[in-house]
Structure 1
Amino acid sequence: MESSRMDSSQLRQCLEEVQAEILQHQMHLDALEKRRRELETELGNIVYPVLTLPPELVSQIFVQCLPNHGRVRPRAHAPPHSLSQVCHLWREIALSSWDLWSSVDLLFIRPPGSPREFPNTGALPLLETWFLRAKDSPLSVTIRSGDAKLDPRILSLISSVAGRIRSLELHVEVEEDALPLCRTHTTFPYLRRFAARCRGFEDDGVFDNLNTPFLQDLSLNRYPSLTSIELGHIYERDLVNLSHQFPQLLHLTAKLTVPSESQSENIILPHLQSLNLSFGDLNTFTLPSLRRLDINSTFPFLGSSLTVLAFVKRSACVLEHIGLHFGDLVDCLEAIPSVVSLSVVVDGEISQFGEFISSEPTPLPRLRTLVVSAMRKQFNYFSFIHLIRARRGRSPTGARLESVQLDLHGTFDGEWLSGATRTELGKLISEGLKLQVTYNGYGWPQAIDDCERFLV
């Protein structure tokens, strides 16, 4: 409206002013654009120190980022995937680092209420990609299908790379899921470890067709020339043949279906170094080389302490570790003066165990490592911390507690580890104590990695 009252000369003057202002802004934008290009060039010329490391060294650093236990579950925000997402250079290094992809742990979860045949379409291409990136590296494969139906193409893929597999762990619920692998007479020339958790199997020899000439570590049964065996849910009478079938056995874990009611034939394993027994009778064993003994039970066995005394005397072994119920510990101390590691189940007040372990004369004077298993509802952290400090304050002539693990079980309403408790436990850690607390799948200060173990 105002411009309509201007004459032509005034309009030309206003137009020139607007054009001059536009030109001024354009010159300013051009200057900013030039500065932007200069800054981008300077930034591009900067070489970060980490990017100057030799690729082979970066590759070794990447491998050290993998879990210590060796099982790698594919996760978007965890190694090795996360390492390949940082920059183009790191992606090239990660994809060319074969060892990063040499282990895979697949967990199949069937949603509640879904059919057993619930599809998992991504598993097969993921496994194919994993094996491809591993190139010619030896493979460690863990399959946990549980009650979800396992795609037979997955086991066919495993069979196709059998010549590279050094460790194979299978958890399947139904026999038919494993048959594609068992019936192929597949040869695993470099297999060193084989573990299987397979419920519903009628035939003990279902895996007999697997050709594994160099197998050393088995979590199943019936293979000679092994040094480590984990047997799940077997009868005690089946242990008798161990001394004949496995003369080089060093480590044995046995979960017996029921305790024996009669005296079994004596079992002599001259080279066995560690025995982990659920139920069972030590009177059937003579183990002169044994160093680690675990008797797993949530309650004390009648006369177990006397059994331990007789076993140690008969075997003439020198135990460095023992695991048993607190109720059995007190009366067998004279048989285990050399113990440096103790795993104990406490089903009552922790204060009673604390008074015992802190008493004079010092029980287990060489003790450096302690693992306590107890019920969360009854647990008193104050008493627990007190016993730790008591054992860490011993004189220089006695052993000082260096490592403690607390495993809590059962249900509990509320916070399982309060802030005040974390503070007090944190003080122990800052003083040099190696400490870990676990409760129903939770861990502190280190979170629990559910890939760490494969149990049969």
Structure 2
Amino acid sequence: MSASGYQASSKLEQPHLPHSSLPCHASPQEQRDALAAVKSQIMLYKKCIVTLEEEEKRLERSLSKVKYPILDLPVDVTSHIFLHCLPTHGRVAPSATSVPLIVAQICRHWREVALSTCGLWNSLYIDGGLDLGTVMGERTFAPNYSAQHLLRTWFSRAKGSPLSLGLNFTMRRVSPALLEVVEAYAGQIQRLDLHLWPEQFSKVRPLRTSFPLLQHLATTNSSDDAAWDFLEYSPPLRELRLLDDLSHDVSIPPSLSSLIQLEISPEISSEMLLKVLNSLPMLSTLKFCLREWEGSSITEPATPTVYPQLSSLSLASGASTSALRLVTLPNLHFLKLASFSDRDDVQKFLSRSACVIDHLVISFEGYEVDVEEDADAVFEWLETFPAVSVLEIPECPDVAALLDSLDSPGVLPRIADIRISSTVRPATIDNNYDDALIKLLHSRRDCAQSLALRRFHITFTIFRLERQVWAPGYLAESALITLIADGLDFVVKLECGTTQTWPKGYVEEDPLLINFP
């Protein structure tokens, strides 16, 4: 039955109640008439109920015959699809609008599949939020009852699989009861992101417990080497992120000899850098920040030490570039430069190492690229890396000028992936922007297929959303749609509190934590 047919069938004679009761002095005949009217209304209501119940049964029978193809998929296929919906960074924050909770609310079958898929529940990131009492200096513990229940329920569904746990309580004191729940799962934890108050980090019970499966550790605390004390008794780690404020260089525990990835956020000395490289023979990925005052005092030794195992290097400050004088990295493929630095140090390092940098991250923050001299410097920087296939620019002050430089055939001839971010308001871009963009994309797509541009993502982050913001013009939009249909992964994102994308419908993950490195 169609919707209109259903509406017609539901137009039954509607019963109505008397507007007012009879007065107490009504005659017996009037009361008998009123009683008959009430019985008549009751009969009408009963007829309506019977008709509606019949319609209810008919609709239920009809819906029971409907088959949804997606529900006929094998359970293992459905589970695999659910797992692919998890964030790629591997840290899952509980949300009713994201996996796994959202798929468990669709229907009974999906809920059963979700609850039986251990891989959906083996990662949990809990943000304790802000506690005003803690900020004001009170020494009481926040109860965190909901976090305790959430952690138990979540990890109980993971069964015995290895776990990933993140606790962010830097703005709030975590209760001992919550940490006792963590202790109960310590034997299963493989990744631990622990961000606590300093005194809690050094005294909580779980840190005195063995973590036999622990391979990935990230910590934030400013206590005196509490993290390093914990590392003395830790199992062999593969990844370590230390976001502590170290007041002095520390010794490297022997337990870290198997470390593959290391990030040290506080500034370290050149001696500490060499100590790290010499003590960790398996280290392949390193992110560090050199003490700024040491930059100018580092002199290049006659024979810089060779570290063939290192393949990824991130310099967290411009001054850190001077540390390149101390090392030779022949197998380096990933390089991140925080800003324009001493190009001579970089060139000498690349020439000495004879390495092939195919993934470059460089920020142009603080440089007006549209100024001719600075634009020439940008071109020279990009020409220094002829083998780069992936280029990320996290801060670009002039997108149009950068597009012009990338359109030069001598710059990055092997580029296949470009990702640009800018805080310049898109509305300020001139009318030639569309032409420059389309010209660049066509020139990069028309080359040999093995070297063709496959991805172009650009993000504008602004503080106030204006009525007129950049969007492709009519001709540019048509050309971009054609390029996308031809296989180009093209996205323009505008971030201003919320995220808008072009073309619409594209969804990109918003990681809870920045991916390492």
Which TM-score tier does this pair reach, normalised by the shorter chain? 0.7 to 0.9
1:140 aligned partner, one-letter code: S
Shift in CA distance, 438/317, structure 1 to aligned 2, threshold 3 Å: farther
Alignment partners' CA distance in 2, 1:357 and 1:34? 70
1:250 to 276, 281, 284: 284
- Equivalent in the alignment of 1:396: 447
Counterpart residue identity of residue 179, structure 1? S
Conserved 8 A contact 1:342-1:367: yes
Q: Matched residues in 1 for 2:79 and 2:298: separation?
A: 57
Residue 199 (structure 1) shift: 2.8
Name the SS of the counterpart of 2:229 in structure 1. coil
In the superposition, relative to structure 1, how do residues 52 and 371 fare at CA in structure 2: closer, same or farther (>3 Å)? closer
The amino acid of 1:291's aligned partner reads H
Letter matched to residue 229 of structure 1? L
Work out whether 1:76 is the aligned partner of 2:128. no
Are 2:195 and 1:134 equivalent residues in the alignment?
Answer: no
What secondary structure, in the 3-state scheme, does the structure 2 residue paired with 1:71 have? coil
- The runs of 5 or more residues in structure 2 that have no matched partner are 1-21, 243-249, 365-373, 502-506
1:212 aligned onto 2:235: yes
Partner of 2:325: 283
| Alignment equivalent of 2:53, drawn from 33, 36, 49 | 33
Among 422, 438, 444, the alignment partner of 1:374 is 422
In 2, distance between residues paired with 1:332 and 1:14?
97
Query: Deviations along 1:344-376, whole A, 9 cap, x unmatched?
Result: 3666433433332223x4311111222334332
Deviation at 1:291, TM superposition (A): 0.9
How far apart are the structure 2 equivalents of 1:17 and 1:243? 96
Aligned mates of 2:113, 2:82 — CA distance in 1: 9
3-state SS in 1 of match to 2:79? helix
CA offset at residue 135 of structure 1?
1.0
Q: Normalization by structure 1: what TM-score?
A: 0.83
Q: Distance in 2 between matches of 1:422 and 1:150?
A: 52
Task: Choose which of 287, 292, 297 in structure 1 pairs with 2:334.
Answer: 292
Q: Partners in 2 of 1:274 and 1:416 — Cα distance?
A: 42
- 1:342 corresponds to which of 388, 391, 402: 391
| Greater relative CO, 1 or 2 (CA 8 Å, sep 6+) | 1
* 1:143 partner SS: strand
1:437 correspondence with 2:507: no
Amino acid in structure 2 at the alignment position of 1:219:
R
Shift in Å, 1:158: 1.9
Q: Contact 1:185–1:209 at 8 Å: present in 2 too?
A: no
User: Contact 2:198–2:223 (CA<8 Å) still a contact in 1?
Assistant: yes
Secondary structure of 1:157's counterpart equals helix
Residues 204/158 of structure 1: CA separation in 2 closer, same or farther (3 Å cut) = closer
**1:354 corresponds to 2:378:** no
Amino acid at match of 1:364: L
CA contact (8 A) 2:202 2:226 kept: no
Q: Distance in 2 between matches of 1:419 and 1:372?
A: 15
C-alpha separation in 2, matches of 1:180 and 1:13: 85
Q: Which amino acid aligns with 2:351?
A: K
State the partner residue of 2:356. 318
Deviations 1:27-52 (Å, cap 9, x if unpaired)?
Answer: 67545534433443343344433333
CA distance, structure 2, for counterparts of residue 26 and residue 197 of structure 1: 69
SS of the equivalent of 2:297 reads coil
- Per-residue CA deviations over 1:84-123 (Å, capped at 9, x if unaligned) read 2223332222222211111001111115576464543311
- Cα pair 2:493 2:500 within 8 Å, conserved: yes
Which residue in 1 is equivalent to 2:295? 260
Change (3 A) 1:149 1:54: same
Matches of residues 126-275 of structure 1 in structure 2 within 5 Å? Answer: 126-172=150-196, 174-181=197-204, 184-203=207-226, 205-213=228-236, 215-220=237-242, 222=252, 223-237=256-270, 238-258=272-292, 260-263=295-298, 266-275=304-313
Deviation per CA, 1:218-251, whole angstroms, max 9, x where unpaired? 1139421111111111313211112311111111
Q: Distance in 2 between matches of 1:390 and 1:454?
A: 32
State percent identity of aligned pairs.
Answer: 28
The number of aligned residues is 445
Residue 437 of structure 1 aligns with an amino acid whose one-letter code is K
Is 176-185 or 269-278 further displaced after alignment?
176-185
Contact 1:186 1:211 (8 Å CA) reproduced: no
Q: CA RMSD in A?
A: 3.8
Is 1:449 aligned to residue 510 of structure 2? yes
Measure, in 1, the Cα distance between the counterparts of 2:498 and 2:290. 28
Measured after TM superposition, the shift of residue 207 of structure 1 is 1.9
- Does the 8 A contact of 1:170 with 1:196 survive in 2? yes
TM-score calculated relative to the size of structure 2? 0.74
Q: Quick one: distance in 2 between partners of 1:336 and 1:148?
A: 45
Stretch of structure 1 that moved more, 197-206 or 72-81 = 197-206
Structure 1 residues 140 and 25 mapped into 2: Cα distance closer, same or farther (>3 Å)? closer
Preserved contact between residue 383 and residue 412 of structure 2 (Cα < 8 Å): no
Q: Hey, what's the Cα distance between the residues in 1 that align with 2:151 and 2:472?
A: 43
Report the AA paired with residue 121 of structure 2: W
Q: Distance in 2 between matches of 1:171 and 1:375?
A: 30
Q: Distance in 1 between matches of 2:468 and 2:311?
A: 36
Relative to structure 1, is the Cα distance of residues 269 and 152 closer, same or farther in structure 2, using a 3 angstrom cutoff? farther
**Corresponding letter in the other structure for 1:449:** D
CA offsets 1:361-413 (integer angstroms, 9 cap, x no match): 4311111222334332596375654443222111424844332333556x644
